[in-house]
Structure 1
Amino acid sequence: MSSRATHHLRGCYPRALRTSSALRASNIVSRRCTHPSTVRPIIFGHKKNWQYSCLRQFSASALYTAETKIICVPSMAESISEGVLSTFNRQVGDYVEQDEEIASIETDKIDVALNATHSGTITKLLVSEGDIVTVGQAVIEISLEKSDTTSQSPPQSQAERTSEPPQEATQKQQTPTRETRPSQEPMKETTSTPTPTPIATPLPVKMCRMRLRTAERLKESQNTTAFLTTFNEVDMSKVIEFRSQNKEAVLQKHGVKLGFMGPVARASALALREIPAINASIENDDTIVFRDYIDLSVAVATPRGLVTPVLRNMESRSIVEIEQGIAELGKKARHGRLTMDDLIGGTFTISNSGIWGSLFGTPIINIPQTAVLGIYGIQQRPVAIDERIEIRPMMYTALTYDHRLVDGREAVTFLTLVKKYLEDPASMLIP
């Protein structure tokens, strides 16, 4: 087969095979027949007389048909056009499957996975870790391997095998052996030196992109809004009783634990119906946008920072449905599976600092929203009930609002409504 191929090549390219250099001739063969690595010169008689022979048999499966594909940064969201390529999960030479995550891009809000569009071998990394990449930018080059046949080197002749002695045996023959005897020098006494006292040095760590963006937005909120915070306290006795009576049934029937966020979120949604200004926002500094729906942003702490995934259509959700939605968002946030759709479009935020043991605080508005509700730890405190002192589980609430849009009366009324619903959970079950 190889002789016929050689005859064909000599007939097609007589001048190239007769006068050209080895490099040019091999290029001709590679373009016509197969990859250059499978072609080697054979010298007959005079050194200038070159003849080429294809070492691989010609068949459709053995032809070199490698093709490359470029993987680019995917579109992320309308408000995000760039990110930082934080890590490569694969390196040059690694084989990847289609849809396999091969890199991670850190944006202002979430990590975006860069997946392989085709199966193949990574041949080149076009950017480095830590580089800023934009949507559509080329990141990785992949070679598509359409052939399962691997190139094999030609077998060595008997003369070649016998003329090359094993390297290990040659080294053993050339290296003389010499006997050694243990050293007779006396051991010197060493004096111990005191361990130096460690010097306290600062450790500078560059802020991740999410932390930088969070800092920018918090400062923007402080500089833009006329923020003010008002407080109230809630007797959580009825909520605790309601939770104790129903948590086992809810867990068995719906597969979710009944916590405190469900009742608080439901009470907030009912209160927002009556005070629509707190669910509104200011646009272009001169327009108020009112909404007939409630999309709740729930603050969730992650190892990389605070995120606020959104629970949609709160106005039509029951307490159990709210708990299911919050549990799902929390799980996605902790495992880094939040999408941009999970993070945009919130109209009101609840921040639960009580899980960390906070007694009360002043939360910051998540712009462009108008208000944020903070809930805090439940503590047994003495309170006056019908002219007598009783110990009740009490919880402080705080509403930070934009005074440009919300008046003090509306803010206080909102907290009073939340208090009323939480102290009578049965009223929240009425549609």
Structure 2
Amino acid sequence: MAIEIKAPTFPESVADGTVATWHKKPGDAVKRDELIVDIETDKVVIEVLAEADGVLAEIVKNEGDTVLSNELLGTLSEGAAAPAPAAAAQAAAPAAAAPGVAGDEQILSPAARKLAEENGIDPNSIAGTGKGGRVTKEDVVAAVEAKKNAPAAAPVAKAAAPAAAPVFAAGDRVEKRVPMTRLRAKVAERLVDAQSSMAMLTTFNEVDMTEVMALRSKYKDLFEKSHNGVRLGFMSFFVKATTEALKRFPAVNASIDGSDIVYHGYSDIGVAVSSDRGLVVPVLRNAELMSLAEIEGGIATFGKKAKDGKLSIDDMTGGTFTITNGGTFGSMMSTPIVNPPQAAILGMHNILQRPMAINGQVVIRPMMYLALSYDHRLIDGKEAVTFLVTIKNLLEDPARLLLDI
């Protein structure tokens, strides 16, 4: 019975996909729920699994082809068995073997077989000189000597392998051209669209991280024990402060849809995560209702899934506001680009010990620059600046988060 292998049903936000990798070729045996093919979209890589045991009969869409939702990729013959490799090898052996080449035990003496095994010699590669083509001990000894006298054969094969992946050495004028992934292409498209379709502006401020760092240092061990190994980081404080600020400034949490402004009564916070495939932005849904532990746990889960390439389309869909942390890579200052259709994005940066004038005294404080890029069509400058100052005040005095002031 033939089973159709189809592309998954893509959500409305994903128009199509590209066949990335076929993990099987026609004639290969397939187990139920075994990975057959990867479909790459502009958000994630989707794995297509086998629906039943059988053999891959046909590939309709080759690697690099564009596919739509539920489009036919290939067919699977349910219950069929792949040809046994041993049988194929036996069928090919009579034609390939030269007269006198011994492979069967009946024409290989026990002493010769033992000597061949000890020296890693394939008996099928030895031409027998004994009666009836039998491989004698002397034949094996000759093969061992021939192997010892030909040491240059192995290095030649090893030297040829790197040609498939050239190494760029100093002074080499070598170029390597690779196709852009759909994710990278889509990110590039969205970034250009955002800059050309928005009245984008960025405002900056700085936050004294003294209180947050002291709180984290004091309770991080107890926090980890109390929440099943979830570690207390800085990101949860920023997410919590952001959701509180979004309540006070709903326009920052809104989006433009045609000639309408859509105000969201919830805070779905996208957290930018770097992966091998590029920048991805999984979403913490209803972050305004989450505790610090739930936020940290969610971010840790997203990080692991991004590293393993297991983020789903649902993980990436939506979002009303985004936070990106370039400080993890040492960034001191940046102007993040808004992720449409959102209206704003918060950029975090690295923490540096800097001299600050406080109450007429110069003191050393751990300082972080913050950047808020926003769509000026929707958010006024005063509103954007006040929003960022609110986040600054909440972080410099974390008790405000508990007291709601």
TM-score normalized with structure 1 length: 0.72
Residue 54 of structure 2: aligned partner: 120
Distance in 1, matches of 2:6 and 2:225, equals 46
Worse overlay, 409-418 or 90-99: 90-99
On the 8 A contact 2:270/2:281 being kept in 1, the answer is yes
Structure 2: give runs of 5+ residues left out of the alignment.
Answer: 88-97, 103-126, 134-169
Please state which structure has a larger fraction of its residues in helix: 2
Letter in 1 for 2:401: M
Residue 363 of structure 1: aligned partner: 336
Worse overlay, 207-216 or 93-102: 93-102
Letter in 2 for 1:262: S
Letter in 2 for 1:272: L
Residue 100 of structure 2: aligned partner: 168
Letter in 2 for 1:281: S
- 1:93 paired with 2:66, answer no
Distance in 2, matches of 1:421 and 1:386, equals 20
Equivalenced residues, count: 329
Which of residues 1, 4, 8 in structure 2 aligns to 1:74? 8
Which of residues 222, 226, 230 in structure 2 aligns to 1:249? 222
- 1:273 paired with 2:205, answer no
- 1:396 paired with 2:372, answer no
- What aligned pairs does 1:5-404 form with structure 2 within 5 A after superposition? 67-145=1-79, 168=100, 199-254=172-227, 255-284=229-258, 286-404=259-377
On the 8 A contact 2:283/2:315 being kept in 1, the answer is yes
Worse overlay, 360-369 or 332-341: 332-341
Structure 1: give runs of 5+ residues left out of the alignment.
Answer: 1-66, 154-165, 176-196
Deviation (angstroms), 1:93: 2.4
Distance in 1, matches of 2:19 and 2:6, equals 12
Letter in 2 for 1:334: K
Worse overlay, 73-82 or 414-423: 73-82
Computed over aligned residues only, the root mean square deviation of the Cα atoms, in angstroms, reads: 2.4
Deviation (angstroms), 1:147: 8.8
Question: Structure 1 370/76 Cα, relative in aligned 2: closer, same or farther at 3 Å?
Answer: same
Question: Structure 1 128/413 Cα, relative in aligned 2: closer, same or farther at 3 Å?
Answer: same
Residue 158 of structure 2: aligned partner: none
TM-score normalized with structure 2 length: 0.77
Q: Please tell me whether Structure 1 or Structure 2 has the larger radius of gyration of its CA atoms.
A: 1
Q: What is the aligned-residue identity percentage?
A: 45
On the 8 A contact 1:401/1:411 being kept in 2, the answer is yes
Distance in 2, matches of 1:423 and 1:141, equals 60
Deviation (angstroms), 1:198: 5.9
Distance in 2, matches of 1:146 and 1:169, equals 35
On the 8 A contact 1:76/1:112 being kept in 2, the answer is no
Deviating above 6 A after TM superposition, structure 1's stretches of 4 or more consecutive aligned residues are: 169-175
Question: What SS does structure 1 have at the residue aligned with 2:261?
Answer: strand
Distance in 2, matches of 1:345 and 1:367, equals 10
Letter in 1 for 2:38: S
Letter in 2 for 1:124: E
Letter in 2 for 1:126: V
Worse overlay, 96-105 or 382-391: 96-105
Deviation (angstroms), 1:199: 4.3
